[in-house]
């Protein structure tokens, strides 16, 4: 067993290359097993919002009506299952307030930074003008403590999105929130909707994100611990013995993550005190799922129900029925659920490759009874799985004939915690240059043993070469898989392109794509 900084009691799984974050008591109590933290019942209380998200007005202007919000980034105390932690939030709550805007409107957000550190906001998935993209030192200087920054851009496309900080490892605090863009004309018929933000949580419970990053990186250089021979990534010699690249078929693997968190939450609530939503028998419910986690792929299922996935990353897909859904970091999926099975049902978000989960609870009108305080794996989780590579666009696109095509090799590994694109670790990495208007094909080749949800800023892309390749902004690339990503470089500027695993991004798996 390894022990790190006193504030971060963690240990390594030398045999499997797994880095586990745990609380001290659990560490001592369960030694080598990985049982979840025992629930300690106490009411879940949201922190007093110190502010202040005001949909202040919707006025007219040449660029379309303006929807205006003020968001205060502020330290606040929040409570998880009886543990109070001081963390970074938007408006004093976790997740941050939901922003809503209509397609074609202009979103204007005044960010007030009351944090002790610089920060920014990135509008994940929205093709904003480059200067509004919120990537520090790339599209703007980070906003210093005590200062404000005005984000303003037209929102051209409907769907389920989210906003989050793009500074350091701040994302692994509470600086995330849903951003819902309503369509001018809704073609989906449903009775009500619920937004569910999935997250993994360690801040204040197992140290801080910065400490975890230091431990991950330090573990590699120390030469002891996260070991030798334990699932080295693609930068290590001996990769020649790995099986060859495979195509896009087959069920996705359940890979143990490089971080196992002490808590997983849905809408800021751990499973002992789940977020509840009400359903009415006969209704068609729309669930908007956002994976805002830093390092966790979730498998989601609603006990007692099947569902139909209708959108991926906010874009319509050919409806896909299933029992369970795999959702990577940065991805969003919209589901329709027919409420035909009255009762009280857990919606389980299982942290892939672990024995832990978060849950929310669907309570039918009139159903009374206790919410289960522990989660058992619902059988739906082993049922028919919907995942990114099964998605097809609702309407076929024109054939994509690339002007430029290039491999993008994802490399790196746990041994020396460095993650690369084409062998280079950002910021020591060259920009990828494309000309405005070019049709670009990236062949993402994952030469590592971990999945990487790759996200391109400022553009949508199509995944796969078929005419019904779905439109996405994030694509989960599994170990030893190749995925094709086609996009048109139509938004000029310097765009981040990175793995949405925060600790991979921070340790190199990012590039700037320059569209000039
Ligand atoms: Cu949601 Cu650069 O990311
Ligand atoms: Cu990654």
Q: Do 291 and 200 form a contact (C-beta atoms < 8 A)?
A: no
Beta bridge partners of 410: 421, 446
**pLDDT of residue 22 exceeding 50:** no
Read off the pLDDT of residues 181-224 as tens digits, 9 standing for 90 and up.
999 999 999 999 999 999 999 999 999 999 999 999 987 654 43
Give the residue with greater pLDDT, 53 vs 483: 483
> For ligand 2, a single-atom ion, which residues have Cβ within 5 Å?
452, 499, 501, 504
Min mean pLDDT across 270-284, 367-381, 418-432 is at 367-381
Query: Which ligand neighbours the alpha carbon of 499 most closely?
Result: 2
Q: Do 511 and 429 form a contact (C-beta atoms < 8 A)?
A: yes
pLDDT of residue 220: 60
Q: Is the CB of 511 under 6 A from ligand 1?
A: no
Give the residue with greater pLDDT, 462 vs 8: 462
**pLDDT of residue 360 exceeding 50:** yes
pLDDT of residue 3: 26
pLDDT of residue 245: 53
**Band of the pLDDT at 53, cuts 50, 70, 90?**
very low
Q: Is the CB of 513 under 6 A from ligand 1?
A: no
Which residue, chain included where needed, has tokens 């739906």?
A: 380
pLDDT of residue 489: 97
* Nearest atom (ligand 1) to Cα of 125: 1
Read off the pLDDT of residues 219-257 as tens digits, 9 standing for 90 and up.
765 443 333 222 333 333 323 333 445 444 578 999 999
pLDDT of residue 397: 81
**pLDDT of residue 84 exceeding 60:** yes
CB proximity list for 477: less than 8 A, separation 6 or greater = 410, 444, 446, 451, 452, 453, 454, 483
Residue whose CA is at the smallest distance from ligand 1 atom 3:
124
* Nearest atom (ligand 1) to Cα of 162: 1
- Ligand 2 centroid to 295 CA: how many Å? 8
- Ligand 2 centroid to 134 CA: how many Å? 21
Percent of the chain, pLDDT > 90? Answer: 76
HEC secondary structure over 398-461: CCCCCCEEEEEEEEEECCCEEEEECCEECCECCCEEECCCCEEEEEEEECCCCCEEEEECCCCE
Q: Is the CB of 498 under 6 A from ligand 1?
A: yes
**pLDDT of residue 155 exceeding 60:** yes
CB proximity list for 237: less than 8 A, separation 6 or greater = none
What does the pLDDT average to over 250-279? 94
Q: Is the CB of 330 under 6 A from ligand 1?
A: yes
* Nearest atom (ligand 1) to Cα of 474: 1
Query: Which ligand neighbours the alpha carbon of 290 most closely?
Result: 1
d(CA 47, CA 262): 20
- Ligand 1 centroid to 434 CA: how many Å? 20
DSSP assignment of 210-266, as one string? HHHHHHHHHHHHHSSSS-TTSS--TTSTTGGGSPPPB-S-SPPP-PPPSEE-SEEEE
**pLDDT of residue 302 exceeding 60:** yes
What does the pLDDT average to over 498-503? 98
Residue whose CA is at the smallest distance from ligand 1 atom 1:
124
pLDDT of residue 463: 97
d(CA 476, CA 297): 9
**pLDDT of residue 52 exceeding 90:** no
């Amino acid at each position: 067993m390894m022990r790190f900084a006193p504030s971060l009691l963690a240990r390594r799984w030398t045999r499997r290359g797994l880095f586990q974050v745990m609380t001290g008591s659990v560490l001592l109590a369960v030694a080598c097993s990985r049982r979840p933290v025992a629930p300690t019942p106490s009411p879940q209380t949201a922190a007093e919002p110190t502010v202040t998200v005001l949909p202040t007005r919707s006025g007219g202007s040449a660029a379309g009506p303006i929807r205006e919000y003020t968001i205060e980034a502020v330290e606040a105390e929040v409570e998880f299952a009886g543990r109070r932690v001081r963390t970074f939030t938007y408006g004093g709550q976790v997740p941050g307030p939901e922003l809503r805007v209509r397609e074609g409107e202009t979103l204007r957000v005044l960010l007030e930074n009351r944090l002790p550190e610089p920060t920014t906001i990135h509008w994940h998935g929205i093709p904003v003008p480059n200067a509004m993209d919120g990537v520090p030192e790339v599209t703007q200087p980070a906003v210093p403590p005590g200062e404000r920054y005005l984000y303003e851009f037209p929102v051209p496309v409907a769907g389920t999105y989210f906003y989050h900080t793009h500074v350091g490892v701040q994302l692994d605090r509470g600086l995330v929130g849903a951003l819902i863009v309503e369509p001018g004309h809704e073609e989906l018929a449903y009775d009500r909707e619920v937004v569910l933000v999935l997250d993994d949580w360690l801040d204040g419970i197992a140290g801080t994100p910065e400490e975890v990053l230091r431990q991950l990186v330090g573990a590699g250089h120390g030469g002891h611990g996260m070991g030798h021979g334990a699932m080295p990534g693609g930068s290590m010699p001996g990769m020649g013995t790995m099986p060859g690249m495979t195509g896009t078929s087959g069920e996705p693997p359940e890979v143990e993550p490089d971080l196992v968190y002490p808590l997983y939450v849905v809408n800021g609530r751990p499973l002992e005190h789940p977020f509840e939503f009400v359903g009415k028998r006969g209704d068609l419910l729309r669930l908007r799922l956002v994976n805002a986690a830093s390092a966790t792929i979730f498998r989601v299922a609603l006990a007692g129900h099947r569902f139909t996935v209708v959108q991926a990353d906010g874009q319509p897909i050919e409806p896909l029925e299933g029992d369970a859904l795999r959702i990577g970091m940065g991805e969003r999926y919209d589901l329709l659920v027919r409420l035909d099975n009255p009762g009280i049902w857990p919606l389980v978000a299982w942290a892939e490759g672990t024995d832990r989960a978060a849950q929310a609870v669907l309570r039918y009108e009139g159903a009374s009874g206790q919410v289960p305080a522990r989660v058992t794996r619902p059988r739906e989780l082993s049922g028919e799985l919907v995942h990114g590579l099964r998605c097809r666009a609702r309407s076929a696109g024109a054939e994509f004939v690339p002007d430029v095509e290039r491999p993008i090799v994802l490399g790196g590994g746990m041994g020396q915690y460095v993650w690369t694109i084409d062998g280079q670790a950002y910021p020591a990495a060259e920009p990828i240059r494309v000309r405005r208007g070019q049709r670009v094909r990236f062949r993402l080749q994952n030469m590592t043993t971990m999945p990487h949800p790759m996200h391109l800023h400022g553009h949508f892309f199509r995944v796969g070469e078929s005419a019904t390749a779905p439109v996405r902004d994030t694509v989960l690339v599994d170990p030893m898989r190749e995925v094709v990503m086609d996009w048109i470089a139509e938004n000029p500027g310097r765009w981040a392109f990175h793995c949405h695993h925060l600790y991979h991004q921070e340790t190199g798996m990012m590039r700037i794509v320059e569209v000039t």
